[in-house]
Copies of this chain bind each other. A is one copy, B any other.
Amino acid sequence: MPEPDSARPCATDFLIASKQCEIDGLAHFLRMGQLVAAISNLVHALQRERGASNVFLGSGGERFAEPLTDLCADADRAQEAFFVALKQVGTRTSGVQGGARLFSRIAHAVHGLGDLPPLRGRVRELALAPEQAVQHYSDLVRALLAVVFEAADSAMDPTISAMLVAMFNLMQGKETAGQERAVGAAGFARGGFDAEQSRRMQHLIEAQERCFEIFTGFADADTLALWHERLSSTDQAAVERFRRMACTGLLPSSLPAEQADHWFQVTTERIDAMKGVEDHLEQRLQSLCEEKLAEARERLARHQSLIEQLLDADDGQGESFMVFCATGSQGDGQGDVPERYDTEGVSPQLGRAIIEMVQTQAQRLQRMQDELNAAREALEERKVLERAKALLMKHRKLQEDEAHRLLRQMAMNQGKRLIDVARAVVAMADVLGQ
């Protein structure tokens, strides 16, 4: 046991540390917001490169050779910007909630991006099937989106958390729309969909709808209005007509190449419209983080100057400050300020001011925690669902959509909600030590 220190700690130091933690967290999220914006752009570029590679491979190298070169250059520029944003986030571990998971996801994404040059080489050599190329690009996008998911999961501010949940689901929905575009383009170019390909289309449509449902549940009114406006300016009827053909396998007699081009065009418009909403949401997120950070800094400055003023006004007894804290007894931040003890040098004003500051901080954090729960639940359910699917994929050697169908089938058979069945699968794996 070390020698007891003569200096008593002061409540206000810890109050200030509490506020400093909030500020550190918000500053981190300002940098994370820039990273999320860079990921959004990089993912968009990779989605376009994936689409063009798919057509290039599907046509045996006949089509899109030139656009592909340009799209690769675009993706390289987006990648550079991502690396710059990553440098801003850095590897400092201070103020990073859930840092271990976040950095682990970033490591995975950065590692995955190293695959890009050899992947492009194989595409150029026509050494891959279109589906294989799509799979590789999709893995990369998934690794990048996982970073956004962790960011959303670690936000401590409920408004930022809700906006990141909306953002993640919009990005994930857009990515699923991109996969739908690729699978559809291949099918229409081939001139047909077999049962497995139709099921895959069906799965991708449903997965998108789930994402957009959560997105609309968490996005602000402004973003939602833009979402409806942008989507209604695209040819949604054409998308739905093509989807019906793809899901039923009943294609018209027009030329496959024409159909594929038309499908690619209408789905690209739709995806670009989504990207516009994504950009808007990013800007909202950015200004929200800046606003919250300025607020938190202002609150801290106000409290610091209030504490100094109180000390100055306290009859010069500042040197025995802690005695003055000895005022008011309080339960759990609830209820009224109780009776005060007006004994030996205790200043009621100062004590009361401090207990009020401590309580305000505790109550604000409590309210934030309560509000966070809704956003956390949406993420938690997704996490459980993804984990259950991953376990089924691993143990039963299933594809993702097969795993999803199996879960849905189990839910229907057992008359339970999908999420409850997924929880049971994960719990089972925990017991089995998987």
Q: Which residue of B lies closest to A1 (CB)?
A: B81
Taking a contact as CB atoms under 8 Å apart, the answer to whether A108 and B341 are in contact is: no
Inter-chain contacts of A16 with B (CB < 8 A): 91
Taking a contact as CB atoms under 8 Å apart, the answer to whether B343 and A121 are in contact is: yes
- Interface assignment of A212: CB less than 8 Å from any CB of chain B: no
Inter-chain contacts of A108 with B (CB < 8 A): 11, 330, 333, 358-359, 362
Q: How far is the CB of A147 from chain B (nearest CB, A)?
A: 10
Given contacts A110-B10, A114-B322, A326-B118, contact A104 B140 (CB under 8 A): no
- Interface assignment of A252: CB less than 8 Å from any CB of chain B: no
Inter-chain contacts of A102 with B (CB < 8 A): 18
Max chain B C-beta neighbours (<10 A), residue from A100, A369, A383: A100
Taking a contact as CB atoms under 8 Å apart, the answer to whether A110 and B341 are in contact is: no
Give the docked Cα–Cα distance between A143 and B332 (Å): 7
- Interface assignment of A17: CB less than 8 Å from any CB of chain B: yes
Binary per-residue interface labels of chain A (335-369) against chain B in the complex, 1 for a CB within 8 Å, 0 otherwise: 10000010110100001001100110110011001
Give the docked Cα–Cα distance between A147 and B108 (Å): 36
Main secondary structure of the interface of A (DSSP, over half): helix
- Interface assignment of A12: CB less than 8 Å from any CB of chain B: yes
Number of interface residues of A (CB under 8 A): 102
Inter-chain contacts of A98 with B (CB < 8 A): 97, 156
Give the docked Cα–Cα distance between A105 and B362 (Å): 7
Q: Which of A318-334 contact B (CB under 8 A)?
A: 322-334
- Interface assignment of A393: CB less than 8 Å from any CB of chain B: yes
Give the docked Cα–Cα distance between A288 and B9 (Å): 28
- Interface assignment of A316: CB less than 8 Å from any CB of chain B: no
Given contacts A18-B104, A100-B18, contact A115 B358 (CB under 8 A): no
Copies of this chain, whole number: 2
Give the docked Cα–Cα distance between A156 and B97 (Å): 10
Given contacts A4-B80, A16-B91, A83-B8, contact A100 B341 (CB under 8 A): no
Inter-chain contacts of A387 with B (CB < 8 A): 366, 370
Q: Which residue of B lies closest to A3 (CB)?
A: B84
Inter-chain contacts of A386 with B (CB < 8 A): 332
Inter-chain contacts of A87 with B (CB < 8 A): 5, 9
Taking a contact as CB atoms under 8 Å apart, the answer to whether A110 and B156 are in contact is: no
Inter-chain contacts of A100 with B (CB < 8 A): 18-19, 21-22, 25, 156, 365
Give the docked Cα–Cα distance between A96 and B99 (Å): 10
- Interface assignment of A310: CB less than 8 Å from any CB of chain B: no
Q: How far is the CB of A271 from chain B (nearest CB, A)?
A: 22
Inter-chain contacts of A119 with B (CB < 8 A): 329, 341
Inter-chain contacts of A94 with B (CB < 8 A): 93-95
Can you name 12 A-B pairs with beta carbons within 8 Å?
A: A4-B81, A13-B107, A18-B99, A21-B93, A22-B100, A24-B99, A101-B369, A118-B343, A121-B341, A140-B329, A332-B386, A369-B383
